[in-house]
């Protein structure tokens, strides 16, 4: 290799480093707007996400995190039949228990949401320095692992599966949508969830594993607002925001 070629390669590497450092600095200067919405019907939250994605893409709003709970609902993903084959309950049973069924437009299989579960929908522009779907999903898993650790729970990942696990049981589910690097959908962390509702489905299409919750694992009730605050802080740290606005 000639000295000129070597110098050119070094210059390109330095430019790449400078660009990465600049992008990181710009992201570190951003504020994450956190909206605590309480109990929100699924269809309403879906419409809100779509509206906010359009606003974020147009630059009318900054990066935003929606934190909320849903009334009882079963949601379907976009792969294959969306998880319909993993719906175990009849329409009559679902109606009797007040459970709706919705298609979502996110990745993943069938999932249950309900009161006592913290749902997070980040509406974030991953450009220019975080355009990596797998990295983003791993970041969300890391956020929830750290939240669980705040309560003394040793949660982790399972190779080949998405989400956060404690032993053989799933503590949190993740299903995202990324369109032109704007994120939507996100995660669902079981805090004080009524786990009996998961018996209506094969959660995430995984038949040989169970589900659990923070309150079940620690043996006491856990304050949802506290969990939401901790999760927002961990997400801001993971995605390099240094300001939170609620």
23: in domain = no
How many C-beta atoms lie closer than 10 Å to residue 148's C-beta?
Answer: 25
Q: List, for residues 207-224, the tens digit of each pLDDT value.
A: 778 999 999 999 999 999
Q: Convert the pLDDT of each residue in 106-155 to its tens digit.
A: 766 788 999 999 999 999 999 998 999 999 999 999 999 999 999 999 99
Domain that holds residue 46: 32-245
Q: Which residues contact 1 (CB under 8 A, 6 or more apart)?
A: none
137, 164, 204, 227: which one is catalytic?
Answer: 204
Among 11-25, 32-46, 113-127, which stretch is predicted with the lowest mean pLDDT? 11-25
Residue 79 lies in a domain: yes
Encode 159-184: b = buried (16+ Cβ within 10 Å), e = exposed. eeebbbbbeebbbbbbbbbbeebbbb
The mean pLDDT of the chain is 88
Is 125 in contact with 134 (CB distance < 8 Å)?
A: no
* Mean pLDDT across 47-55: 97
Phi, psi of 219 (to 5 degrees): 75, 30
- Domain holding 184: CATH number? 3.30.930.10
Domain count within the chain: 1
Domain assignment present for 59: yes
pLDDT tier, 28 (very low <50, low <70, confident <90, very high otherwise): low
Could you tell me if residue 214 is inside a domain?
A: yes
Q: Give the number of other Cβ atoms within 10 Å of residue 235's Cβ.
A: 27
Active site residue 204: yes
**pLDDT recorded at residue 205:** 65
Residue 58 is encoded by which pair of tokens?
């147009």
- The answer to whether position 27 is within a domain reads no
> CA 237, 240, 243, 246 torsion: positive or negative?
negative
Each residue's pLDDT tens digit, 180-210: 999 999 999 999 999 999 999 887 667 778 9
Confirm whether 177 is domain-assigned.
yes
**Could you tell me if residue 46 is inside a domain?**
yes
Checking if the pLDDT of 228 tops 70, the result is yes
- Between CA 25 and CA 20 the distance in angstroms is 9
- For residue 223, is it within any domain? yes
Helix (H/G/I), strand (E/B), else coil: 116: coil
Q: What is the pLDDT of residue 21?
A: 46
């Amino acid at each position: 290799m000639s000295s000129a070629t070597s110098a050119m390669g070094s210059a390109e590497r330095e430019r790449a480093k400078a660009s990465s450092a600049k992008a990181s600095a710009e992201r570190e200067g951003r504020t994450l707007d956190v909206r605590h919405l309480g109990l929100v019907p699924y269809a309403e939250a879906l419409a809100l996400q779509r509206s906010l994605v359009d606003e974020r893409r147009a630059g009318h709003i900054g990066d935003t995190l929606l934190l909320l709970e849903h009334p009882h609902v079963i949601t379907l993903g976009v792969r294959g039949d969306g998880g319909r084959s993993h719906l175990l309950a009849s329409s009559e049973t679902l109606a009797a228990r007040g459970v709706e069924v919705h298609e979502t437009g996110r990745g993943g299989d069938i999932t249950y949401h309900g009161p006592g579960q913290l749902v997070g929908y980040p509406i974030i522009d991953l450009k220019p320095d975080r355009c990596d779907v797998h990295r983003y999903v791993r970041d969300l898993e890391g956020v929830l692992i750290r939240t669980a650790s705040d309560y003394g729970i040793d949660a982790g990942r399972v190779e080949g599966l998405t989400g956060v696990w404690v032993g053989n049981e799933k503590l949190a589910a993740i299903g995202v949508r990324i369109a032109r690097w704007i994120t939507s959908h996100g995660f669902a962390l079981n805090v004080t969830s009524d786990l009996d509702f998961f018996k209506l489905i094969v959660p995430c299409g995984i038949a040989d594993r169970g589900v659990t919750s923070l309150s079940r694992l620690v043996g006491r009730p856990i304050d949802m607002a506290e969990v939401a605050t901790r999760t927002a802080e961990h997400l801001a740290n993971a995605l390099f925001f240094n300001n939170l606005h609620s």
